[in-house]
Chain A
Amino acid sequence: GENVEQHPSTLSVQEGDSAVIKCTYSDSASNYFPWYKQELGKRPQLIIDIRSNVGEKKDQRIAVTLNKTAKHFSLHITETQPEDSAVYFCAASKGGTYKYIFGTGTRLKVLA
């Protein structure tokens, strides 16, 4: 069945360093890949997304890259700050079904 694998499960970085989280999806028909940030006790919120017709997208300190051939996509956060500490989820969906499959999450800790 459809599956999204996410690595690593935990990641600690020093403030100011970069963080990279990777996801691999199984359904080659997936065409939309969002990333969500979830702070402790809060709801997940969209931080960036990418569609299958684009290889890279940037928004200030965050960027997402997509490799359709390898079926993987990555979240890059540069110049990390303590407020970036949270759990990050990737997801994949296939147009027409609007069904989303989420990765298992990465707990990012930014150490001051």
Chain B
Amino acid sequence: NAGVTQTPKFQVLKTGQSMTLQCAQDMNHNSMYWYRQDPGMGLRLIYYSASEGTTDKGEVPNGYNVSRLNKREFSLRLESAAPSQTSVYFCASILGQATNNEQFFGPGTRLTVL
């Protein structure tokens, strides 16, 4: 099992460019998440998908869109990148059942917006 995978690992964008961060999990998990991590700010939830076909806003959704493409894949799109979106982005997933709530994280994508 690869667990949770993310692409790309690193990306540099210019202000106003768009891009999509990809995330996939092979653990048959139901719920998937996108976080951003900034120094001193911890992990802030951008969007999450409790189950296939649903998505919900987290703490900091502005400037982002998501797509739960299928049970395995959850993508994050920046339509018009801004320097404030420079961050490390983590995708995560959980099985979603009541007795097992451990979140498994991907390796992260380091994004720089110039």
Contact = CB atoms under 8 A, between A and B. Distances in A.
Contacts of A101: 45, 59
A9 B35 CA distance: 20
Interface stretch (A14-22, A39-47, A63-71, A73-81): A39-47
Contact of A98 (B42, B43, B50, B90): B50
Interface residues of A, number: 25
Contacts of B33: 100
Interface in B27-62: 31, 33, 35, 40-45, 48, 50, 56, 58-59
B58 A99 contact: yes
Contact of A105 (B42, B50, B103, B108): B42
A108 to B, nearest CB: 15
Contacts of A32: 101
A95 B42 contact: no
A89 B42 contact: yes
Measured as residues with beta carbon below 8 angstroms from the partner, the interface class of chain B is 20 to 34
Contact of B40 (A9, A46, A91): A9
Contacts of A91: 43
Contacts, number: 55
Given A34-B103, A98-B96, A43 B108 contact: yes
A62 B103 CA distance: 19
B74 interface: no
A1 to B, nearest CB: 8
Interface string B85-112: 0000010001010100111011110000
Contact of A102 (B31, B40, B42, B96): B42
13 contacts: A36-B103, A43-B105, A44-B43, A44-B90, A44-B105, A49-B101, A89-B42, A95-B98, A98-B50, A101-B45, A104-B41, A105-B40, A105-B42
Given A43-B108, A44-B43, 13 more contacts: A9-B40, A34-B102, A34-B103, A43-B105, A49-B102, A91-B43, A93-B101, A97-B50, A99-B45, A99-B56, A100-B45, A101-B45, A105-B40
